[in-house]
Amino acid sequence: MIKLNLGLWQEIIRAEFAKATLDAAEYIRKDAALFNRSGVVPHITFTETGTHFNALIWAEGMNAVIAEWGSGSKMDLTNPYLPAYQSSPDYNPERREQGTTAILGRPYGPYTDLDGVEHFSSGRLAGVNLEEGHIFEAGGGVKYEPHEAEHYMREAVNANRVIIHERFILAIKRCFTRISIRGV
């Protein structure tokens, strides 16, 4: 007769797959930090439910969004969150009115940037394409360079696909090794 301790199996499998999930996430996090040219610092949040392990690799702030998806006329229009942003009160209404993604001067009044910081626009450059540059009467100038999407998170995941698979194959092998050592 063969007896199988299911509780022990579940404990070993849970521990090994939690480790594999965190290992894979750490590889991705490290590469995401290397791949982005904007100094964005990715983080990992690990959660476990009764049936799932979740390793969320995330970065915060406007620079993280710009590094991943780009900005202005060079932004990646396939961003799944772009339509929601474009219809939000945070989106420059001048861009919406002109039907462009170029960086434009804002109308007079307060506005909030993607980091939640409040600003106030004088409205002097409302609707002016700031990517092309604009010279003030006083001799100063302003120009905002659009940024191409780096897709550093996507690149980090793609670069680590083999390692991710290897981590989980190794976890399966460790499960059988630990179980055979314990004599389950």
Rounded to whole angstroms, the Cα distance separating 36 from 93 reads 29
Query: Which residues of the chain fall below pLDDT 50?
Result: none
Give per-residue pLDDT as tens, 160-182: 999 999 989 999 998 888 776 65
Q: Is the dihedral of CA 105, 111, 114, 118 positive or negative?
A: positive
Give per-residue pLDDT as tens, 52-70: 889 999 888 888 989 999 9
Q: Which helix (H) or strand (E) element contains residue 169?
A: helix 161-182
- In sequence order, the β-bridge partners of residue 55 are 46
- Please state, in angstroms and as integers, the Cα–Cα distance from residue 97 to each residue in 58, 80, 106, 113, following that order: 32, 21, 12, 19
- Identify the pLDDT of residue 151: 92
